[in-house]
Structure 1
Amino acid sequence: MAQVLARRGEEEERGLVLREDGRRNADGGALTQALSRRYADRITGSFTMPGREGAYAPLPDDVPEALKSALRARGIDRLYSHQAEAWASAQRGEHVAIVTPTASGKSLCYTLPVVAAAMTGRAKALYLFPTKALAQDQVAELLELNRAGELGVKAFTFDGDTPGDARQAIRLHGDIVVSNPDMLHQAILPHHTKWAQFFENLRYVVIDEIHTYRGVFGSHVTNVLRRLKRVCAFYGVTPQFILCSATIGNPQAHAEALIEHRVHAITESGAPTGDKHVLLWNPPVINKDLGLRASARSQSNRIARIAIKSGLKTLVFAQTRLMVEVLTKYLKDVFDHDPRNPPRIRAYRGGYLPTERRDAERAMRDGRIDGIIATSALELGVDIGSLDVVVLNGYPGTVAATWQRFGRAGRRQKPSLGVLVA
């Protein structure tokens, strides 16, 4: 009986994977239509956010020529409108908050003024990210830009993984130090005299993913920033703050509460986007007498299988590390049963060694992985390349986290699909 049900399930999935013309589903939009037709009884809600064309601006005249050359070498010969607005605001000396969707190019909003200041005025910058993965990702981006134009700007991470013998060199020679609020609290501010050269030239403080700094934790971070400003005043500097977030309802009020300064909020994105489809998926009843429904796990597994077989890059979010491992095993049994082939499925969660995390991120970014199962460790803006489908195995707990996770799909203007299974 179990074999019959399994065979019936495989035939059902095969019918969804192949369209009428025999080709695989090309994008998230086609998969949305296929799932909606077959599983209409399980979909309790659906909507589409239409895509839009991009709004562009030329590279500003006051960007250093070497930096312009580095940008062009990386294929950037114009800016999105919000990036140009952020540059202009930073040049006016304002504190800036950029709140635009995921994958809209927010990192360039602070990279341009920071790198330009480091090149022309020997200015220093401090980046604060909530996770190590984000910090590593940003340093890799800065190093690539540096190599593209031989800019001579030195960027380093300073976190718990930083070896002790490297810390002094970072304090003395780092133009851009990428860290997190905990390290700022424990390892930088209490020893600010060792950082005197850095603080004397500190011009920018960049804080990314500010929506994570809320409640008691947000209050703690605000107090740490108060201490930072007091130390800066001791060294005679008043740094500008550049804040970023992808999902927040009241950006200006939140940013001003965090840094206790007036900010210029940029909320209109100029980045082009594809159609974003969202499905709310209710597991079916499997025993009417007892009122039992299928598990969210089984439904998330099924949706992910269909998406991956359709040739779509898929990310599944689970609420716990254990659930990540369970879903990974289910999908590996389907797609990685032949050890002679490179793995198509990968798990990503806290608890891995730094080298394992970097290797997983690189494999995702290079497109060598078809399916990723992750905890909230991938919720924030780590660059893992282009994704087509995001499946949420359970409600993340907040609306902001839900949109943040859905936002991981849909890069490069392709239609994307987000499914919430709960």
Structure 2
Amino acid sequence: MHVEVLPARPGAVEPWPDWVDPALVAGYGARGITRPWAHQVRGLAALAQGRHLALATPTGSGKSLVAWAAAVSAIRAHTVSGRISRLTHRPTTIYLSPTKALAADQLAGLTGLLEAAGIRDVRAVTVDGDTPVAERDWARDWADLVLTNPDLLHFSLLPRASRWARLLRGLRYVVVDEMHSYRGMTGAHVSLVLRRLLRLAAHYGASPQVIVASATAANPGPTAARLIGVPADRVTAVTTGTSPVGQRTVVLWQPPPVDAPADTGNTGGTGGTDGPDGPGGPAGPDGPAGPDGTDGTDGTGNPAAEEAGPRRSTLVEAADLLAELVGRGRRALVFTRSRIGAETIATLTREYVERRGGNPASVAAYRGGYLPEERRALERGLRGGGLLGVATTNALELGVDITGLDAVVIAGWPGTHASFWQQAGRAGRAGAEGLTVLIASENPLDAYLVHHPEAVFSSGVELSTFDPQNPHVLAPHLCAAAAELPLTEADLTWFAPAEPAPPTRAAGTPDPAGAQATLRALLAELVARGLLRARPKGWYWNYDRPESPTSLTDLRGGGGAAVSVVEAATGRMIGTVDAARADAAVHAGAVYVHQGATFEVLSYTGDVAVVEPSNAPHRTRPHTHTRVRVGGVSAERSCGPVTWQHGPVEVTTQVTGFDRRRVPQLDLIGSYTLDLPERTLHTMSTWWTVPAETLAEAGVGAASLPGALHAAEHAQIALLGLVATCDRWDLGGLSTSLHEHTFAPTVFVHDAFPGGSGFARRGFDAARDWIAATLAAVRDCPCSGGCPLCIQSPKCGNGNSPLDKSGAVRVLTFLAGSFG
């Protein structure tokens, strides 16, 4: 549909600062880096001035050099400083990564650098949930640089701070990599974990500088300041990259009609999407993603899409392109939105490669839920070149340096511009040329983007939206902080510093209660609930409680411990499934796929799903039921007869059954009922209402109203990503012709995380632009009656029924006109 050529750019270098350790400079020289890029020198200069640093330069521009040059130089200066060194603590550094793969990759690069420099007195290790106890003990006693993740900080290091006292006393730098990945609820959680870390470091006498890095961050200085809880004027932002960039070609691609000739001869699809490779909220009709083992396409032959022509599955198209690249000896990644998608693409690609006489072992899948040893083996294959083609979820999006990667295929818009450019940046690193192909999947946002390339190439990356003052997030962190070290009056500034209102609040709208007042009220509530105890000197954790304070929250929003998938005959653990997705993913009778192997779920309890190998020629798709109860209205706007509101809601969902669908055409085999409990989500929503008689005057009568509202809801959820840092898997929704609270036709779009994540609020604030983009996507779609490119949702629990495209166009046109 469109080809964009991004030109090459030369690099600019400057001399090393004189305070960088000479041995380290020699080590970089041995690895071909004789002088740093100019932006790296600017970052090092900011650190030398004692400032926090936000380093937001393009992918492959060497951001890690700034962190390691500063950290290793500090350690080496202490090591060789003679007697005076005995008066100070040996400097240490904590590096935080959003994924284990990225931390392992960074350690490999750092270890190679230290070896090249001949430096043997700097000790660097990774510590995460997979680290054996003996290695973790060694890290506590001896490590200078600890590479870990926010989860390890929250669950292990901070609650046992006294055991990590040596590391905390000497803490000189905290490195936060891939800042843009910390958005929404996860961003709020990580922000509070960082504030807890900095508070404890101060207690032990340290005052670390924070280095925040991202290749795709908007407004990086203020965002980094909000993340770590300091005034924006204490952060220096370096945003202009000076490293060389090779020519990059970006292709926007739409799968051809199914009757078009194809090299593989395959048509039809084998599986849909289940959202990002991470936790989501409870499943619902239009809640977060459907799970592993489910299909996300309509599969009903949808006659409404005939005019546009049924097209090949995005996953089949991606597998075909990956097989072509591998067959030509090119190294490539395919990014897909779901775990089942990664497994399906890898399986199909291996078949295509073998059919063409190639080596199928050169292709693999990579996703969350694998066991640690599987992940490490795949990462070695990627770095060593044993794997040419890998189908992956966003688990490999962040930062992992895969030298020599030629191409990236993105199977479906990844949700944000930030993620798109992160994934595209995997190809053509280190100044080499690269190719990126974005294949449109069957959802309206993808269709909009491939037909409007300016929305891809002329739009900047999104602001990172997160609110550390969200009481649902803040409360459990206050409990954890009080258990780590009793909270005092002076400590309150760590958790409610003076800062601008976050993007989750309308521009210019002050916090009505004030952050400090809100914090005190929250502490009083925690005392009243028996979680904290108030004493003259501060607030203490109530140790009579049966639970640990860290168990009160989940940083990733998964809603509980992962469910283990266990093989019945052997007791072998095959993988894991996030708790929030388990009801829909591993219910009895579900199909679970792992590295191409297919299993059927025999039973599912609270924390274990028992499976057996199966060659069943079908996949499963859950049915869900949802209802929404309004808990209040925090913001309201009237646009003529249309009322927009925002406030707290209670979303109750239940997986009620599932379909079996035969692959590859996904014909319905049968439907089955399930008896699973209800799940309740307390969150924030934006909704609009219009009197039924007003819609009738606009041409949407009672007969077409349910389908029109349902179709508009699907499209609104899909298009909110154009005005907020989110995608449809961060959201849920409900449409109804008569709601019990509003007594009128109503469409809800809600955040898919407890307490809300700010995305629905952004929709309320930018409603005009949101509705305009939604109307354009639905109206401009070439189908006559609705199709997966405009109003169908890949995660609709009601089987995309009823849907009325013409009614949705009339509803959206009316909404757009109501703004005046």
Scaled by the length of structure 2, what TM-score is found? 0.45
- In the alignment, which residue of structure 1 is the partner of 2:466? none
Q: CA deviation at 1:351?
A: 2.2
Secondary structure class of the residue paired with 2:364: strand
Question: Which of 204, 213, 228 is the aligned partner of 1:259?
Answer: 228
Question: Which of 255, 261, 273 is the aligned partner of 1:283?
Answer: 255
Cα distance between partner residues in 1 of 2:346 and 2:16: 44
The answer for unaligned runs of 5 or more in structure 1 is 1-42
Amino acid at match of 1:143: T
Amino acid at match of 2:138: A
Question: Which of 259, 264, 272 is the aligned partner of 2:244?
Answer: 272
Cα distance between partner residues in 1 of 2:438 and 2:35: 36
* CA displacement, residues 394-415 of structure 1 (integer Å, 9 cap, x when unaligned): 1111121111111110113222
After superposition, residues 64-213 of structure 1 pair within 5 angstroms as: 64-121=21-78, 122-151=90-119, 152-213=121-182
* CA displacement, residues 85-105 of structure 1 (integer Å, 9 cap, x when unaligned): 111111111101111111111
Amino acid at match of 2:335: F
After superposition, residues 380-391 of structure 1 pair within 5 angstroms as: 380-391=398-409
Mark the CA change 1:200 to 1:412 in structure 2 (over 3 Å): closer, same or farther.
closer
Q: CA deviation at 1:268?
A: 0.8
Preserved CA contact (<8 Å) 2:248 2:435: yes
- In the alignment, which residue of structure 2 is the partner of 1:56? 13
- In the alignment, which residue of structure 1 is the partner of 2:381? 363
Preserved CA contact (<8 Å) 2:327 2:358: no
- In the alignment, which residue of structure 2 is the partner of 1:231? 200
* CA displacement, residues 196-242 of structure 1 (integer Å, 9 cap, x when unaligned): 11111111000000111111211111111111121111111110001
Cα distance between partner residues in 1 of 2:210 and 2:307: 59
The answer for unaligned runs of 5 or more in structure 2 is 79-89, 260-305, 441-820
* CA displacement, residues 38-96 of structure 1 (integer Å, 9 cap, x when unaligned): xxxxx2x2212111001111222222222122222222211111111111111111101
Deviates more, 1:173-182 or 1:283-292: 283-292
Q: CA deviation at 1:291?
A: 3.4
Cα distance between partner residues in 1 of 2:415 and 2:307: 30
Preserved CA contact (<8 Å) 1:362 1:384: no
Cα distance between partner residues in 1 of 2:345 and 2:175: 36
Cα distance between partner residues in 2 of 1:233 and 1:180: 20
Preserved CA contact (<8 Å) 1:367 1:385: no
Deviates more, 1:67-76 or 1:218-227: 67-76
Secondary structure class of the residue paired with 2:14: strand
Deviates more, 1:295-304 or 1:90-99: 295-304
Mark the CA change 1:167 to 1:309 in structure 2 (over 3 Å): closer, same or farther.
closer
Preserved CA contact (<8 Å) 2:353 2:360: no
Secondary structure class of the residue paired with 1:76: coil
Structure with bigger RCO (C-alpha 8 Å, 6+ apart): 1
- In the alignment, which residue of structure 2 is the partner of 1:4? none
- In the alignment, which residue of structure 2 is the partner of 1:23? none
Preserved CA contact (<8 Å) 2:320 2:349: no
Preserved CA contact (<8 Å) 1:300 1:421: yes
Secondary structure class of the residue paired with 2:438: strand
- In the alignment, which residue of structure 2 is the partner of 1:345? 363
Secondary structure class of the residue paired with 1:270: coil
Cα distance between partner residues in 2 of 1:123 and 1:333: 52
Cα distance between partner residues in 2 of 1:206 and 1:251: 15
* CA displacement, residues 221-272 of structure 1 (integer Å, 9 cap, x when unaligned): 1111111121111111110001100112221121111012221111111110
Cα distance between partner residues in 1 of 2:318 and 2:364: 16
Amino acid at match of 2:324: I
* CA displacement, residues 320-372 of structure 1 (integer Å, 9 cap, x when unaligned): 12111111111112324699968221221122222222221122222222211
Q: CA deviation at 1:380?
A: 0.5
Give the % identical residues. 44
Preserved CA contact (<8 Å) 1:301 1:327: yes
After superposition, residues 312-351 of structure 1 pair within 5 angstroms as: 312-336=330-354, 343-351=361-369
- In the alignment, which residue of structure 2 is the partner of 1:242? 211
Preserved CA contact (<8 Å) 2:19 2:73: no
Amino acid at match of 2:253: W
- In the alignment, which residue of structure 1 is the partner of 2:503? none
Mark the CA change 1:90 to 1:291 in structure 2 (over 3 Å): closer, same or farther.
same
Cα distance between partner residues in 1 of 2:319 and 2:173: 45
Cα distance between partner residues in 2 of 1:306 and 1:338: 10
Higher helix proportion (structure 1 or 2): 1
Preserved CA contact (<8 Å) 1:364 1:385: no
- In the alignment, which residue of structure 2 is the partner of 1:214? 183
Preserved CA contact (<8 Å) 1:336 1:345: no
- In the alignment, which residue of structure 2 is the partner of 1:5? none
Q: CA deviation at 1:298?
A: 2.4
Q: CA deviation at 1:312?
A: 2.1
Secondary structure class of the residue paired with 1:204: strand
Amino acid at match of 1:266: V
Deviates more, 1:84-93 or 1:335-344: 335-344
Mark the CA change 1:327 to 1:72 in structure 2 (over 3 Å): closer, same or farther.
same
Preserved CA contact (<8 Å) 1:137 1:383: yes
Secondary structure class of the residue paired with 1:187: helix
Preserved CA contact (<8 Å) 2:21 2:72: no
- In the alignment, which residue of structure 2 is the partner of 1:34? none
Preserved CA contact (<8 Å) 2:53 2:236: yes
Question: Which of 293, 296, 301 is the aligned partner of 2:311?
Answer: 293
* CA displacement, residues 163-194 of structure 1 (integer Å, 9 cap, x when unaligned): 11222221110100111111111111111111
- In the alignment, which residue of structure 2 is the partner of 1:375? 393
Aligned residue-pair number: 379
Question: Which of 386, 406, 409 is the aligned partner of 2:427?
Answer: 409
Amino acid at match of 1:141: G
Preserved CA contact (<8 Å) 2:217 2:418: yes
Amino acid at match of 1:136: A
Secondary structure class of the residue paired with 1:167: helix
Mark the CA change 1:89 to 1:341 in structure 2 (over 3 Å): closer, same or farther.
same
Cα distance between partner residues in 1 of 2:32 and 2:61: 16
Mark the CA change 1:289 to 1:240 in structure 2 (over 3 Å): closer, same or farther.
closer
Scaled by the length of structure 1, what TM-score is found? 0.86
Secondary structure class of the residue paired with 2:361: coil
Cα distance between partner residues in 2 of 1:340 and 1:310: 10
Amino acid at match of 2:5: T
